[in-house]
Amino acid sequence: MANLREIYQLGSDVIRSVAEKVSDVHAADIQSLIDDMIFTCKESKGVGIAAPQVNCSQAIIIIASYPNERYPHAPMMEPTALINPKIISHSSSMLKDWEGCLSLPGIRAQVPRYREIEVSYTDREGNEHTVMYRDFVARIFQHEHDHLVGKVFLDRIESTFDVVMEKEYQRLMSDEKGERS
């Protein structure tokens, strides 16, 4: 049974540390960690989470995109565990769009990210994969991958004017929705 884990916030040493490579994907503690991360991500209304966010300095991320209160336009996908993930290549084009983070609650920012990335990773069964991610899912991957190298989304912003508080973000999104109607 999966457990809800505490999400560590910016200021905790683990958030700024470089995660260690997982050597045995089949280890019981790694499998339990993956289950807990998927559960914690869903319960927190996140679309992704990295192991350092739950105080485990291991190179594991979960991508779990689905429409929710925080990301109403997110595409639906099965939660996926990516162990020892790497970016192999990326597009030259970037897109600046809104991001938030479970480890920085209440803050949103416009963050430039590559529109398309090719990544390699090991799944929880030990199989190697190489996949292409685009747009929102590519953004999730890059955001979570940053956590594995001690970065947060605020490290990627181009200007402090790109940062807003959650309440203001919700107002901006509401105004934008009204303009599209």
Kindly indicate whether the domain formed by 13-180 is annotated with CATH number 3.90.45.10: yes
Active-site positions?
Answer: 144
The pLDDT tens digits of the residues spanning 78-94 come to 999 999 999 999 999 99
**What mean pLDDT do residues 106-132 have?**
98
Q: How far apart (Å, rounded) are the C-alpha atoms in residues 145 and 6? A: 19
User: Who wins on pLDDT, 78 or 180?
Assistant: 78
The annotation places the binding site at 101, 143, 147
What is residue 69's predicted lDDT score, i.e. its pLDDT? 78
The annotation places the binding site for Fe cation at 101, 143, 147
Sequence-distant (6+) residues with CB within 8 A of 159 are none
Give residue 181's pLDDT band: very low, low, confident or very high (50, 70, 90): very low
Give residue 177's pLDDT band: very low, low, confident or very high (50, 70, 90): low
Q: Where are the domains of the chain?
A: 13-180
Mean pLDDT of the chain: 95
